[in-house]
Amino acid sequence: MKKYIGAIQKMPGNSRILYFARNCDEPYVEIVTVTETKRRQSICSSEDEEPEDILPVLSDHSELLEDTHVQKLGAHLPARTQGYPWRLVYSTVVHGTSLKTLYRNLAHIEGPVLLVIKDMDNQVFGAFASHPFRVSKHCYGTGETFLYSFSPELKVFHWSGINSYFVRGHTDSLHLGCGGGHFGLWLDADLCHGCSLACDTFHNQPLSKKQDFLIHNLEVWAFH
């Protein structure tokens, strides 16, 4: 590869002479306008700049998510959610505290969902599920599913690969992750009580400060 040593000399008018030495070869001279020089500098400058993170758009107001939550969670969501607005499909503030209502509101959802919980200690945590929550005889979901907690910095617990007990919905409870006799996240029928323990599915830490917690508010978001 040939190396160039350059210098710039101003000329009268709107032009400059660029002198380039090709190692021991003959000098190479290029005459360019000031406008062209600025254009080249602009291209180099724009290539060096890092693209700004684009904050996902929430089509509804959230009682729980702040901009920093949205930005940090958005960076961990799979590509198929990117570019879609986040739409609130269930909220205990709007729809009341009922797991049955949550299932009903998600019956028409086909894609992934984001569960957001704030407990009575004001800690925010939850889960991303590859499929919407529903009553099921068996566990369902894929390795896209993960648990997370802001404590206060975001911690994400991805699939460990040990088992596939991602999500299971009962009429009286909902749980995500299992193994070792523990659930990663468990919620009751009234969405008032829950518990979180380390489990094999996600190798997670407990999501809340307390093993058994009281739910202050809960939201479920879809992407479409």
Q: What is the pLDDT of residues 89-141, one digit of tens each?
A: 999 999 999 999 999 999 999 999 999 999 999 999 999 999 999 999 999 99
Q: What is the pLDDT of residues 129-171, one digit of tens each?
A: 999 999 999 999 999 999 999 989 999 999 999 999 999 999 9
User: Which of 191, 113, 124 has its CA nearest to residue 151?
Assistant: 124
Identify residue 68 by its one-letter amino acid code: T
User: Which of 136, 76, 137 has its CA nearest to residue 106?
Assistant: 136
Q: Across all residues in the chain, what is the average pLDDT? A: 87
Q: Which residue has the tokens 């206060």?
A: 152
Q: Is 67 helix (H, G, I), strand (E, B) or coil?
A: helix
**Residues facing 178 on adjacent strands:** 183
Q: What is the pLDDT at residue 45?
A: 46
Q: Which residue has the tokens 């000399």?
A: 9
pTM confidence score: 0.77
pLDDT at residue 88 greater than cutoff 90: yes
CA 107/CA 90 separation, integer angstroms: 11
For residue 54, what pLDDT band results from cuts at 50, 70 and 90?
Answer: confident
Per cent of the chain over pLDDT 70 is: 76
- Strands (E) in the chain, as ranges, are 4-10, 15-22, 28-33, 86-91, 113-119, 124-129, 146-150, 154-157, 167-169, 173-179, 182-188, 193-195, 212-223
Average pLDDT estimate for 59-82 = 97
CA 28/CA 30 separation, integer angstroms: 7
Residue of higher predicted confidence among 161 and 35: 161
Q: What is the pLDDT at residue 4?
A: 45
Pairing of strands 182-188, 193-195: antiparallel
